[in-house]
Amino acid sequence: MPAAAYETQNKPVSVTAAPKRTGDWNLPLSYFAFWTVRLGGWLPRFDRCAGCDAPLGSKPAFYDAHQPGLFCEKCRRSGMKPLRHEARLLAERFAGERLDRIEFEKSMQPIAGELREASLTWIEHNLERRLITRELLEQT
């Protein structure tokens, strides 16, 4: 079996084992949501604005549930949520590393949470319905 196929097949297993290893569910859930979006083909570009194609650089990008993509400050619309540069860097790390090789640090929690929220929003946008499990997460 090719290494890429093996790695993709084992993502859910590593996600379910990660809370035991890290003592936290935040990072594994964010990783799983990110990969759901990526494998679904819904992952937007993280380097350029979907509206004007300007580079996002180290500034926050913005997203919402009504349109795909990340937007710059100039193209931002009312109600959009920020996705900081650090969260986009974490997404790049998720794309290039297996979860069991990412060391969990408490400082990663807010960044992973931002990426998870954006990923769940993109899932909902493409499914055209609200995720029931998202409401359960918000209560936790």
Domain extents in the chain: 25-139
CA–CA distance, 25 with 38 (Å, rounded to integer): 20
**Confidence at 6, pLDDT banded by 50, 70, 90:** very low
Please state, rounded to an integer, the average pLDDT across all residues of the chain. Answer: 83
34 vs 130 pLDDT, higher one: 34
Q: Is 79 helix (H, G, I), strand (E, B) or coil?
A: coil
Q: Give the pLDDT mean for 48-57.
A: 97
As a whole number, mean pLDDT of residues 57-64 equals 96
Nearest 5°: CA angle at 119, between 117 and 122? Answer: 110
Percent of the chain as helix, strand, coil, to the nearest 5: 55, 10, 35
pLDDT at 57: 96
DSSP one-letter string for 113-134: HHHHHHHHHHHHHHHTS--HHH
The residue that leads in pLDDT, 96 or 4, is 96
pLDDT at 8: 47
**Each residue's pLDDT tens digit, 95-111:** 999 888 888 888 889 99
Which residues are paired to 71 by β-bridges?
A: 62
